[in-house]
Amino acid sequence: MGARLRVFLTREQDRTLLNLRTADTPQKVKDRAEVIRLNAHGWYVEKIAAHFNWSPQTVRNVLHKWQKLGLEGLWDKPGRGGKTKYTEEDIVFLAILPQKRTTDIQQSSTSAKTLLR
């Protein structure tokens, strides 16, 4: 087994990470900040992972990112996730769709009445 992964924080760093809990930031960032604080206060990786219901490797990744990038490592890089695949034409079509459906329903009910006569 390798050496335990442990980070050390200054009072100012600890206070900054604590303040992120009440800041208007994504939940992921708040969780990552708390992971770092718990580790600095003596919690082992496995215990933190169980607390957050994460894998131990995820906790290690957060701690390594903190050691490498500091506060900047808490946020996701820009451009993460899927890119939008719709166009302006798609938005216009979706805006017209409810009106078109209403018209189609009215026409079909008129056709049904005609057939019943």
Give me the pLDDT at residue 39, please.
95
Give me the pLDDT at residue 22, please.
86
In angstroms, rounded to a whole number, what is the distance separating the alpha carbons of residues 117 and 114? Answer: 5
In angstroms, rounded to a whole number, what is the distance separating the alpha carbons of residues 33 and 57? Answer: 16
pLDDT in tens, the chain (117 residues): 556 888 999 999 999 999 988 888 889 999 999 999 999 999 999 999 999 999 999 999 999 999 999 989 898 877 766 777 777 787 777 777 666 555 555 555 555 555 455
Whole-structure pTM over 0.85, yes or no? no
Give me the pLDDT at residue 19, please.
92
The torsion of the CA quartet 101, 104, 106, 110, rounded to 10 degrees, works out to: -160
Give me the pLDDT at residue 110, please.
55
Alpha helix segments (H runs only) across the chain: 11-19, 27-40, 45-52, 56-69, 88-116
Domain boundaries, the chain: 11-74, 86-117
